[in-house]
């Protein structure tokens, strides 16, 4: 049993003050990931700062015609919000593809962004893991790595980011709002999560003394041509082996704008704007989708058990784009 103290923050300023004062403290929101990690002895905070009652639980209009999701809005409340369903159905579908209704009722926007990898060695404190304990080595590279990354990996860690919601937020080019001791700042979604590099213990560019206050969705939500495709071992309650968030703008059968983000393949939601531009001005055909898929996965590297993901990823991209072009939603 690791002893810890528990306090509840009344407002954002006191939450920031408390985390700044104690480097070993952790925020707790829905608790669906942090408590599991504490039970497994992976996270050992000396103090929990409960932020679940902060006034960050609303969805409001944001500048430029977009929407702001408060960091404490529950995942279910985002997914079933009428404006989200109408304007950002990609986000709604991605959230509903994740976890279970009970978990989504507890999980928050901020907690979803900050959830940690599901690498089995990370959860097993008896095995070496550079993410859990830097410079001990990575058990997955030569171990059981079926669910692991194929893009942007390093010799230090091949873990994936497990979120579905974040894959949609990457495609929508959301912006993360954070507050720290020196004030507020905004982080573009593409820069929020990090690749593992030689510091796999650091998942994001959020500083240790900062809190996420919200996520801004730009006005463009791609409600007409979108798809969130999640390939997994079971139809529900399983993390993605590969997922694809596809969002298109079309004029007839010609693509005038494209966004693609992949989940389950990298340490962060994977975007490649260079591959996306291959679709601009092109007709929505299987051949054109295949070219983008080949380009997106051109540098993919398998580690044995997960090598199947390279071909699976390409097929998922083609299917996700076809769904977005001709029949939206999730499959």
Ligand X SMILES: Cc1cc2nc3c(=O)[nH]c(=O)nc-3n(C[C@H](O)[C@H](O)[C@H](O)COP(=O)(O)OP(=O)(O)OC[C@H]3O[C@@H](n4cnc5c(N)ncnc54)[C@H](O)[C@@H]3O)c2cc1C
The least CB distance from residue 303 to ligand SF4, in Å, is 9
The least CB distance from residue 237 to ligand X, in Å, is 6
| CB neighbour list of residue 71: distance below 8 Å, 6 or more residues apart | 29, 54, 56, 108, 109, 110, 177, 211, 212, 213, 214, 215
Asked if residues 190 and 271 have their Cβ atoms less than 8 Å apart, the reply is yes
321's contact among ligand SF4, ligand X, none, with CB below 5 to 8 A by partner kind, is none
Among 38, 42, 91, 99, binds ligand X (CB under 6 A): 99
The least CB distance from residue 127 to ligand SF4, in Å, is 7
Reading phi first (left if > 0) and then psi (alpha if -120 to 50, else beta), residue 70 is in beta
165's contact among ligand X, ligand SF4, none, with CB below 5 to 8 A by partner kind, is ligand X
The least CB distance from residue 126 to ligand SF4, in Å, is 12
Q: Which positions from 20 to 39 touch ligand X by CB under 6 A, shown as an x/- string? A: ------xxxxxxxxx-x---
Contact between 114 and ligand X per CB under 6 A: yes
Cα–Cα dist 6/49, whole Å? 6
Cα–Cα dist 12/65, whole Å? 25
200's contact among ligand SF4, ligand X, none, with CB below 5 to 8 A by partner kind, is ligand SF4
98's contact among ligand SF4, ligand X, none, with CB below 5 to 8 A by partner kind, is ligand X
Give residues 186-215 in contact with ligand X (rule: CB under 6 A): 211-212
The least CB distance from residue 154 to ligand X, in Å, is 22
The nearer residue to ligand X, 35 or 219, going by C-beta atoms, is 35
Axis crossing angle, helix 286-296 with helix 308-326, rounded to the nearest 10:
140
Exposed, middle or buried, 331 (CB in 10 Å: 0-12/13-18/19+)? Answer: middle
Q: What are phi and psi of 16, to 5 degrees?
A: -65, -40
Asked if residues 291 and 278 have their Cβ atoms less than 8 Å apart, the reply is yes
Q: Give residue number: closest CB to ligand X.
A: 111
Among 71, 246, 265, 266, binds ligand X (CB under 6 A): 71
Measure Cα distances from 134 to 90, 123, 192, 306, 325 in Å.
Answer: 36, 15, 21, 24, 44
Asked if residues 263 and 167 have their Cβ atoms less than 8 Å apart, the reply is yes
122's contact among ligand SF4, ligand X, none, with CB below 5 to 8 A by partner kind, is ligand SF4
User: Which residue ranges make up the site for ligand X (CB under 6 A)?
Assistant: 26-34, 36, 51, 71, 98-99, 103, 106-108, 110-112, 114-115, 162-165, 211-212, 239
């Amino acid at each position: 049993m690791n002893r810890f103290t528990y306090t509840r923050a009344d407002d954002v300023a006191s939450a920031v003050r408390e985390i700044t004062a104690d480097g070993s403290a952790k925020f707790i929101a829905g608790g669906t990931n942090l408590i599991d990690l504490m039970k497994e002895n992976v996270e050992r905070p000396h103090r929990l700062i409960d932020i679940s009652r902060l006034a960050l639980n609303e969805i409001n209009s944001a500048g430029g015609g977009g929407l702001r999701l408060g960091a404490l809005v529950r995942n279910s409340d985002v997914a079933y919000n009428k404006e989200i369903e109408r304007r950002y159905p990609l986000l709604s579908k991605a959230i509903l593809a994740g976890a279970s209704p009970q978990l989504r009722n507890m999980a928050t926007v901020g907690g979803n962004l900050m959830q940690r990898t599901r690498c089995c060695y990370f959860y097993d404190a008896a095995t070496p893991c550079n993410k859990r304990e830097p410079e001990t080595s990575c058990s997955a590279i030569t171990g059981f790595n079926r669910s692991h990354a194929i893009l942007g990996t390093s010799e230090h860690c091949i873990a994936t980011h497990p979120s579905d919601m974040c894959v949609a937020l990457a495609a929508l080019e959301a912006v993360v709002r954070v507050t720290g001791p020196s004030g507020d700042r905004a982080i573009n979604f593409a820069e929020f999560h990090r690749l593992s590099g030689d510091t796999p213990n650091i998942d994001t560019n959020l500083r240790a003394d900062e809190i996420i206050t919200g996520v801004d969705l730009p006005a463009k939500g791609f409600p007409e041509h979108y798809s969130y495709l999640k390939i997994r071992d079971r139809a529900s309650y399983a993390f993605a082996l590969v997922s694809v968030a596809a969002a298109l703008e079309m004029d007839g059968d010609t693509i005038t704008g494209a966004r693609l983000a992949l989940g389950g393949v990298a340490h962060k939601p994977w975007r490649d704007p260079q591959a996306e531009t291959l679709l601009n001005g092109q007709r929505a055909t299987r051949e054109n989708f295949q070219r983008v898929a080949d380009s997106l996965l051109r540098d993919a590297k398998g580690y044995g058990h997960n090598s199947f993901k390279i071909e699976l990823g390409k097929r998922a991209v083609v299917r996700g784009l076809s769904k977005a072009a001709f029949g939206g939603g999730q499959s």
